[in-house]
Chains A and B, each alone.
Chain A
């Protein structure tokens, strides 16, 4: 069926509306981040004078750089461990017969619905007694737990679709078990692992409640939490510009992720959710 000009115009208009709804709030943050401190009280959408001052300010201040590094480190470590643990569990769920499988899947579902605030009070007390409070590990451990269910779901759905006969075929052709795994199975499994890693990292990057509750200084505080504790350079300046600049900085990786991995994120978020 040929696409008529009218249809094109209709879809084009709908697309434009959707793109504007997404873009305007993001561009507003970008615009704020380039406004001079004096121009913050000017409600016009774009700055009259553009300045890099807010960026150079936050990127030379340890109150933002340290939390940014914490975010990257904590996010990467939690993601790595969560994906390794989830791959092991997902392989077992997809391929092995053992009792308690149903319980494991139900438990993972329950945790993905869990209200984090219910854990803040007990974890706060537990972490203080184990000296995990205000450390990287103190955030990494809960992030693994909350990243796991999503990763297990994505990977189990993914592993079920891998044609495992290929492994046998490779062995028949003379491959060792290790070769069959690294040359045949691992390349087939890696897209699922990448997808779940992206989604777990995005969860860690975004997380706020644990980040403000289980930390007390910038030694473990992540970037979103640091944003909420920003103060102006003096008591009388509002930190609007620096906060906007910091918000833009932590949004850039997300925009890169979604542009590069759009297909994988979409398939990951929708896999395992519904099949019937």
Chain B
């Protein structure tokens, strides 16, 4: 105690206050008041987030350990990990996971390429930059369900222009073409979001570097791969994280386009059906917890990859 007071007294004036606050066990009245105000201001947000996310996910873990069917509400009993065993040994779960992973990988990869092109267009176009940005925001803002109906009718034989264009085909009646159309609908809707996240990274690339490389004779492609891409890595990681997690929970487009028919159901559709068609809370909760774990692992890998550059790290300082 006394030594720490001494150190503070000896320390350079500019450094002293910060050290003082960290080392001294008792806070000054001002710092305590600031602390209390900080807690008070955060309390409503924290309470809502705990009440709606943290508590229910714990409750889901609890439910997932029960045999609980809404059709037989009196036959609830603790069954340990049986529900997880049932889910993980079911072909439906692995089919759903396969479909979800395929949709996630293909749509995010396509969006990254198209989003980069759109970001370049929004960033560099010499004509109507405002118009391009406004137009690009329409798919981002449009209600997914509304857009999905547009695609559904466009691909319905004898009704839709796209079906008519492809010899009156009915792609939504078999697995692979259905998945392709689900991915198309996802890519159309979310490429602008990807592009905007990439745009913020593109704006950080110093123009001088590009000019210098141009002077040295680098081609457009070389400038893009050697300068722009490496400098945009943080922005690309953020975009991949957000879109990856978002694509993994795909629900709306599939619900409207195929309702999971022809083996096109994602893990979210499977969880929904187990609750509302099978009325099975136990199995439904086990699926919920497994999906949560998948996303948590995905996020952990990304955050680990980000290191200190995790999104929001600069907000805390």
Report the nearest A residue to B282, measured CB to CB: A121
| Segment of A49-57, A178-186, A188-196, A247-255 engaged in the interface with chain B | A247-255
Inter-subunit contact B52/A145 (CB<8 Å): yes
Q: How far is the CA of A213 from the CA of B56 in the complex (A)?
A: 15
A258 at the interface (CB under 8 A from B): yes
Distance between B71 CB and nearest chain A CB, rounded to angstroms = 14
> Given the known A-B contacts A18-B135, A145-B53, A262-B130, are A208 and B251 also in contact in the complex, defined by CB atoms under 8 Å?
yes
The verdict on A65 contacting chain B, using a C-beta distance below 8 Å, is: no
How far does the alpha carbon of A110 sit from the alpha carbon of B291 in the complex, in Å? 14
Contacts of A157 in B (CB 8 A): 315
A48 within 8 A of B: no
| A169 beta carbon closer than 8 Å to chain B | no
CA distance A101 to B34 in the complex (A): 13
Which of the four size classes fits the interface of chain A? 35 or more
Interface of chain A residues 255 through 276 with chain B (CB within 8 A): 255, 257-259, 262, 265-266, 269-276
Distance from B238 Cβ to chain A, minimum over Cβ atoms (Å)? 5
Verify B315–A21 contact, CB threshold 8 A.
Answer: no
B78 / chain A contacts, CB cutoff of 8 Å: none
A117 CB, min distance to chain B CBs, angstroms: 4
Q: Is A22 an interface residue (CB 8 A)?
A: yes
Given known A-B contacts A22-B135, A22-B139, A111-B49, A227 and B149 have beta carbons under 8 A apart: yes
Among A118-143, those with CB < 8 Å from B are 118-126, 141-142
Say if the beta carbon of B137 comes within 8 Å of chain A: yes
- Is A162 interfacial (CB-CB < 8 Å)? no
In the bound complex, do residue B150 and residue A247 qualify as a contact, i.e. CB atoms below 8 Å apart? yes
Q: Check A274–B251 contact: CB distance below 8 A.
A: no
Q: Is the CB of B138 within 8 A of A255?
A: yes
Contact of B235 with A by CB under 8 A: yes
Nearest-neighbor residue (CB-CB) of A241 within chain B? B153
Q: Which of A55-110 contact B (CB under 8 A)?
A: 84-86, 88-89, 91-94, 96-102, 104-110
Given A119-B288, A157-B315, are A29 and B150 also a contact pair (CB < 8 Å)?
yes
Q: Which of A97, A141, A156, A274 contacts B200 (CB 8 A)?
A: A274
Task: Decide: B142 and A32 in contact? CB cutoff 8 A.
Answer: no
Question: Across the interface, which residues of A come within 8 angstroms of B200, CB to CB?
Answer: 270-271, 273-274
- Of B7-15, B86-94, B174-182, B191-199, the segment with at least 4 beta carbons within 8 Å of chain A is B191-199
Q: Quick one: closest B residue to A121, CB to CB?
A: B284
**A113 and B295 contacting across the interface, CB-CB below 8 Å:** yes
Partner of B249, one of A98, A117, A202: A117
Interface: B316 (CB within 8 A): yes
* Least CB distance, B141 to chain A, in whole angstroms: 4
Name the contact of B34 in the complex, choosing from A44, A96, A117, A228 (C-beta under 8 A). Answer: A96
Question: Cβ of A172 < 8 Å from any Cβ of B?
Answer: no
Q: Does A177 touch B at the CB level, under 8 Å?
A: no
B48:A145 contact, CB within 8 angstroms: yes
CB of B127 within 8 A of CB of A12, answer: yes
B37 touches A22 (CB 8 A): no
In the bound assembly, the distance between CA atoms of A45 and B275 in angstroms comes to 39
Contact of A205 with B by CB under 8 A: yes
| Residue pair B315, A105 in contact (C-beta under 8 Å) | yes
Which chain A residue has the least Cβ–Cβ distance from B52?
A: A145
Does the CB pair B39–A43 fall under 8 Å?
no
Q: Does A200 contact B (CB under 8 A)?
A: no
A273 to B272, CA, bound (A): 31
B224 interface hit (Cβ, 8 Å) = no
- Selected from A92, A104, A109, A144, the residue in CB contact (under 8 A) with B48 is A144
Given contacts A28-B150, A119-B56, A105 and B136 within 8 Å (CB-CB) = no
**6 A-B residue pairings within 8 Å (CB atoms):** A11-B126, A88-B41, A89-B44, A122-B56, A206-B143, A274-B235
Residues of chain A touching chain B, judged by Cβ–Cβ distance below 8 Å, are 3, 7-8, 11-12, 14-15, 18-19, 21-23, 25-26, 28-29, 32, 40-41, 43-45, 84-86, 88-89, 91-94, 96-102, 104-126, 141-142, 144-146, 148-149, 152-153, 156-157, 160, 202, 205-206, 208-209, 213, 223-224, 227-228, 240, 243-244, 246-248, 250-251, 254-255, 257-259, 262, 265-266, 269-276
**Which of B's residues lie within 8 Å of A, judged by CB?**
21, 31, 34-35, 37-39, 41-42, 44-46, 48-49, 51-54, 56-57, 59-60, 63, 118, 121, 124-128, 130-147, 149-151, 153-154, 158-161, 163-164, 168, 188, 193, 196-197, 199-201, 204, 234-235, 238, 241-242, 245, 248-249, 251-252, 255-256, 267-268, 271-272, 275-276, 281, 284-285, 287-289, 291-292, 294-296, 299, 309-316
Q: A104-B46, A262-B133, A274-B200 are in contact. List 18 more A-B contacts (CB 8 A).
A: A22-B136, A32-B153, A41-B158, A98-B39, A114-B292, A115-B245, A118-B60, A118-B295, A120-B272, A121-B288, A124-B275, A141-B48, A153-B311, A206-B141, A208-B145, A224-B145, A224-B252, A273-B238
